[in-house]
């Protein structure tokens, strides 16, 4: 088991970056790209079938970790809701001056609304920085895994992987 998982319950950024599904710094600078944070050898492969660009490969055996062909990935995000492990994100470092976007699966209700100010959180659910929701996608094909996209200051894009759960007003 990876050291970060063993000691904290989730992997370190260094462990994730060395996985075959994590794009290179150079690719991240070019625009939206999938970030696959799937680092355990588990029998799973819907992500491989989900990508219309054939940018994700698992092959045989099925316990291989997903490999991202970062040059084939066009950043469509279709793989995000297909991952049962909620381990795929989309990061765009080129969104705007000093501003990045992070898209992630969000399986809680109520869903946030576009334009809403939110608290962006890291992989452990700890607050990182303020964010703004710019897209909420929940078509039937997502099979009840909505995808939320937020803007955050660019320097936090590698850390932010979700938002604090929205509380319904009583
Ligand atoms: S973002 Fe789109 S092109 Fe990139 S790996 Fe996912 S499904 Fe494939
Ligand atoms: S679908 Fe998700 S959990 Fe399954 S192999 Fe792909 S990235 Fe890993």
Per-residue pLDDT tens over the stretch 70-116: 999 999 999 999 999 999 999 999 999 999 999 999 999 999 999 99
How much of the chain exceeds pLDDT 70, in percent? Answer: 93
Task: Give the C-alpha distances (Å, rounded to integers) separating 67 from 14, 104, 105, 132.
Answer: 17, 19, 20, 31
Structure token pair of residue 2: 């990876």
Q: Are 77 and 103 in contact (CB under 8 A)?
A: yes
Give the residue carrying structure tokens 């991202």.
Answer: 68
Q: How confident is the model at residue 150 (pLDDT cuts 50, 70, 90)?
A: very high
Helix or strand or coil: residue 132? strand
Q: What is the pTM of this model?
A: 0.94
Q: Which listed ligand is nearest to 74 at the C-alpha?
A: 1
Which ligand 1 atom lies nearest to the CA of residue 54? 8
pLDDT number for residue 5: 60
**Residue 132 phi, psi (nearest 5):** -130, 130
Q: Which listed ligand is nearest to 86 at the C-alpha?
A: 2
Whether the per-residue pLDDT at 58 is higher than 80: the answer is: yes
Give the residue carrying structure tokens 């696959």.
Answer: 36
Pocket probe mutation, ligand 2, options 21, 37, 47, max atoms within 8 Å of Cβ: 47
Average pLDDT over residues 25-50: 97
Residues of the chain by 3-state class (helix, strand, coil), percent to 5: 15, 30, 55
Q: Please give the Cα distance from 36 to 91 (Å, whole number).
A: 10
Which ligand 1 atom lies nearest to the CA of residue 76? 2
């Amino acid at each position: 088991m990876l050291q970060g998982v063993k000691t904290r319950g989730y992997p370190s950024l260094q462990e994730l970056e060395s996985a075959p599904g994590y794009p290179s710094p150079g690719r991240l600078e070019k625009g939206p790209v999938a970030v696959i944070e799937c680092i355990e050898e588990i029998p799973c492969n819907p992500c491989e079938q989900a990508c219309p660009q054939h940018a994700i490969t698992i092959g045989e055996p099925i316990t291989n970790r997903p490999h991202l062909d970062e040059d084939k990935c066009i950043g469509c995000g279709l793989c995000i809701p297909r991952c049962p492990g909620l381990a795929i994100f989309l990061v765009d470092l080129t969104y705007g001056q000093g501003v990045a976007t992070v898209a992630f699966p969000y399986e809680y209700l109520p869903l946030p609304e576009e334009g809403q100010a939110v608290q962006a959180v890291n992989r452990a659910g700890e607050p990182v920085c303020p964010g703004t929701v710019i897209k909420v996608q929940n078509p039937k094909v997502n099979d009840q895994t909505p995808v939320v996209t937020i803007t955050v200051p660019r320097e936090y894009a590698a850390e932010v992987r979700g938002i604090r759960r929205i509380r319904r007003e009583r």
